[in-house]
Amino acid sequence: MSYRRRAGGGKRDISEKPIVEALERVGAECWRVGGQSNPDLLVRFRGRFYAGEVKTGKGKETKNQGAFDIWRTTDDALKAIGAVR
pLDDT by residue for the chain (85 residues), tens digit each? 444 444 455 678 788 999 999 999 999 999 999 777 789 999 999 999 999 999 887 766 666 666 788 999 999 999 999 999 8
CA distance 27 to 22: 9
Going through the chain in order, the beta strands assigned E by DSSP cover: 29-32, 41-45, 48-54, 69-71
pTM for the model: 0.79
CA distance 4 to 85: 31
Fold topology of 16-80: Trna Endonuclease; Chain: A, domain 1 (3.40.1350)
Which of 53, 50, 49 shows the shortest CA–CA distance to 72? 53
CB 63 within 8 A of CB 46: no
